[in-house]
Structure 1
Amino acid sequence: MYLTIMKPEVLQDVASLGRGLWIVDGPDGPVLVVKAGKEFILAAREKRELKFYLAPYESDEAQGLTLLTACFDDPISPLTIKTPLMGSDPVTEGLKSLPDHFSVCFFDEHNRELLSSTAHASLEELRKHAKGVNPLGKEHWHLMMEQADDWFSFTTREDDSRAVTLTLLEDLFPSDFLITDLTRQGFHGSRGFSNTHLERPEPGHLQELDIIYLLQRAYSAEQIIHGPVKVSDGEELTDAVVLGTEVTLLLQAKDSPNTAEMMGTKLERKRKKALSQLKGGLSQLRGAVSTIEREGNPALRLVDGTPLKIDLAARPLLGVVVVKELFSDTYEEYGAMILDFMDDVRVRVVAFDYNEFEVMTRHCPSEQALLSAFWQISECAVEQRIYPRLRFTELPPR
């Protein structure tokens, strides 16, 4: 909470930034702002270091560099952030004069500052490369991101030895605090406030709230219902229902604990967990659709007992499953599960990992735009019998 408390006027700028690295003016000099998911932030806190790699880029006659920031929570599959250096963008300009001693503040996608620390890195070579970067147009952005991914998957020991180590030194504010949010609470089922923290031993409820906050980029809070409960058996229908103007969204969320003890989980175990979460989410959606088709308009209430007077049969249904993470080389298995669901249940469904869903709701900040994207994904899956991998990436600032 260092930057939040010491220089709150910067928060408006931070809120406008997408995921990635940014450099802002802090109370005592430049501050490296890292916007990332809770997993990256927790790993940085525990490992106390990041690694900077410079991935080369080449397309026709254009050449450039992508700054790839890695946090080695796992020695084989680290968490990464890719930042194309475009030559005249704020990040490249900021790197040219970033001193070796500076502050780092980590914000999540909801602009909550969850970790802040002093830091040290020997940046002489990085500053030199930043000064030598040739300006590139925004048309190179996506390809730079893709090439950086490919390059990093084949890094050598020599590449590792050239990487710059950023060491987190002293925390500027304790990271075990609790954040109470009194905003974004107008949805049905809200308690009027919410609490969040970096470590999450019990992830379900907090993940659902974060997803509801993302949905509020495209829908009004009044259209969203958190955890409607069936009166008949006291069981939850879905994690969230969105009463759109065109379709009704039935959403299921699946997350894993975000704790220091869970760090270092083997990649194969993560893959199995992703399949399990997707399977579980689809199964729960199947039950919700079956209830609606069988009862037409089941009697529902909020968790606090307040009756819900809504008509779930008034509009077509669209299922959404959001899991912790999906892996690009496992989409054949994901797709088979999703297509089997749609063939059997006859309801369209789309699935994302949380990071994809966050980027999508930022690129599609209206109901019309979001549904258009959902429809394109679903149509591609139905027509080509392959569930498409999303290609949304952060665009450079204007």
Structure 2
Amino acid sequence: MYLSIVHPDALSHVRKLARGLGAVATDEPILVIKTRKEIILTAREKREFKFYLAPCVADGRRGLTLISAFFDDPVSPLTITTPLAADAPLTETIQTLPNQFKVCFFDEHNRELLSCKAHAELGGFRSRITASPLLGEEHFLEMLDQGESWFAKSTAADDMLATSVYLGEDLFPSNYVITDMTQQGFQGWAGFATSELERQEPGPMQEMDIIYLLKRIYAADRIVHGPVKISDGEELVDVLILGDEVTVLLQAKDSPNTAKTLNTTLERKQRKAISQLKEGLSQVRGALSTIRREGSPKLKLVSGKELSVELNSKPIVGVVIVKELFKCSYEEYGSHILDFMDRYQIPTLVFDYAELDVMSRHCPSESTLLSAFHQIFEHARDRRTYPRLQFRTRPPL
């Protein structure tokens, strides 16, 4: 909470940042990293991350993309990709960053979860950027794509050229709990919600984070958290979205975010993603079966207040949100999703949490969201493969 307390005026700038690296103008250099909780926890526990400079080419001209790598796994680290565009304020900040600086980590909801002193031997790093030509911001997406492709094929020699950033003492303790008591307006709001970096029991916190993302798209009163069936007292779905055009049945699957889970192997994470996907689809199937059997089941909120909703009056879309999806496993994801859609005849989508964050930035209304959904459905139907989420425009701030 260092930046939030010492420089609260800088938070308006932080709120405008999308995911990635940024900087704030204070009397000292402060690097802001806005990213997901898994990367922030990795930074806290490992006390180190690395800068890689990936070459890229567009229109016959060369440039650089910055890859920030956080090694929760020694072979497949978590990364943040930052195109170094010419004349961009962030590029200038990176070029002039001193060896000693402060770094503050925020999540996608602008919660400051880690703040610490940092140091790195940046002389060679700065020289490489200064000596290289840089591309303009119109090539942002090409730099992004090429940077990610380069890093996937990077070698031991590239590792030797990487610059290590070491995290020193914390500027503020990171083991605190954040309590949100602002009026959120969605149905099922308990009046408060808590969040923290380490999460032993992730479910309720992830559901709240998903609702915060959905509020970028839907009016709050169209979102229902944890509706319960009056007939048996069981939850229908984690989140019910009462859209103008479709009703969305959303199931959320997450895993603990703890120091212990950082040692989970990549293979086990990949198996967990498949397990979460299958479990989420099974839960959507259960909700769909209830609606088809009962028409519009009687529902209530956890508080006991009865809901007056018609669930069989509009088309239904199923959505499953898992912790993380992996590029190498999309064929297997697709087989489960396509089989589910063929069997139950409803459009169904699966995203990981990071993809939902990106989608909610690109699609700030139900119509734009459904347009993106439709493109995914068409691709899956026509090519019998489930596509990775990819937008061809730069995300809005």
Task: Report the TM-score range of the alignment, normalised by the length of the smaller protein.
Answer: over 0.9
Say which SS state the counterpart of residue 285 (structure 1) adopts: helix
Say which SS state the counterpart of residue 383 (structure 1) adopts: helix
> How far apart, CA to CA, are the structure 2 residues paired with 1:57 and 1:249?
40
Say which SS state the counterpart of residue 29 (structure 2) adopts: strand
The equivalent of 1:193 in structure 2 is 192
The equivalent of 2:70 in structure 1 is 71
Asked if the contact 2:40/2:113 (under 8 Å) is kept, the reply is yes
Q: Does structure 1 residue 47 correspond to structure 2 residue 46?
A: yes
Q: Does structure 1 residue 239 correspond to structure 2 residue 235?
A: no
Q: Does structure 1 residue 307 correspond to structure 2 residue 312?
A: no
181-190 vs 307-316, which deviates more? 181-190
The equivalent of 1:353 in structure 2 is 352
Asked if the contact 1:66/1:82 (under 8 Å) is kept, the reply is yes
Asked if the contact 1:232/1:299 (under 8 Å) is kept, the reply is yes
User: Scaled by the length of structure 1, what TM-score is found?
Assistant: 0.97
Asked if the contact 1:35/1:106 (under 8 Å) is kept, the reply is yes
Describe the shift of the 1:206–1:396 C-alpha distance in structure 2 as closer, same or farther (beyond 3 A). Answer: closer
The equivalent of 1:108 in structure 2 is 107
Task: Specify the code of the residue in structure 2 equivalent to 1:100.
Answer: N
State the Cα deviation string for residues 314-371 of structure 1 (Å, max 9, x = none).
2111111110011112111111111111111111111101101100101111111111
> How far apart, CA to CA, are the structure 1 residues paired with 2:131 and 2:363?
35
TM superposition shift of 1:148 = 1.7
> How far apart, CA to CA, are the structure 2 residues paired with 1:244 and 1:107?
31
Say which SS state the counterpart of residue 246 (structure 1) adopts: coil
> How far apart, CA to CA, are the structure 2 residues paired with 1:303 and 1:269?
34
The equivalent of 2:150 in structure 1 is 151
User: Scaled by the length of structure 2, what TM-score is found?
Assistant: 0.97
Aligned length: 397
240-249 vs 140-149, which deviates more? 140-149
C-alpha RMSD of the superposition: 1.5
> After the TM superposition, which residues 79-90 of structure 1 pair with which residues of structure 2 at under 5 Å, given as runs?
79-90=78-89
Q: Does structure 1 residue 367 correspond to structure 2 residue 366?
A: yes
The equivalent of 1:94 in structure 2 is 93
Task: Specify the code of the residue in structure 2 equivalent to 1:13.
Answer: H
> After the TM superposition, which residues 327-342 of structure 1 pair with which residues of structure 2 at under 5 Å, given as runs?
327-342=326-341
Asked if the contact 1:251/1:321 (under 8 Å) is kept, the reply is yes
> How far apart, CA to CA, are the structure 2 residues paired with 1:252 and 1:304?
20
Say which SS state the counterpart of residue 146 (structure 1) adopts: helix
> How far apart, CA to CA, are the structure 1 residues paired with 2:347 and 2:162?
45
Unaligned runs of 5+ in 2: none
The equivalent of 2:122 in structure 1 is 123
State the Cα deviation string for residues 87-135 of structure 1 (Å, max 9, x = none).
1112111112211111000000001000000110111122223334434
> How far apart, CA to CA, are the structure 2 residues paired with 1:355 and 1:394?
17
> How far apart, CA to CA, are the structure 2 residues paired with 1:60 and 1:146?
15
Describe the shift of the 1:184–1:133 C-alpha distance in structure 2 as closer, same or farther (beyond 3 A). Answer: farther
Task: Specify the code of the residue in structure 1 equivalent to 2:370.
Answer: L
TM superposition shift of 1:378 = 1.2
The equivalent of 1:5 in structure 2 is 5
Q: Does structure 1 residue 15 correspond to structure 2 residue 15?
A: yes
Asked if the contact 1:86/1:134 (under 8 Å) is kept, the reply is no
Say which SS state the counterpart of residue 263 (structure 1) adopts: helix
Asked if the contact 1:184/1:213 (under 8 Å) is kept, the reply is no
State the Cα deviation string for residues 3-37 of structure 1 (Å, max 9, x = none).
011111111111111111112123x4121000110
Say which SS state the counterpart of residue 238 (structure 1) adopts: coil
Unaligned runs of 5+ in 1: none
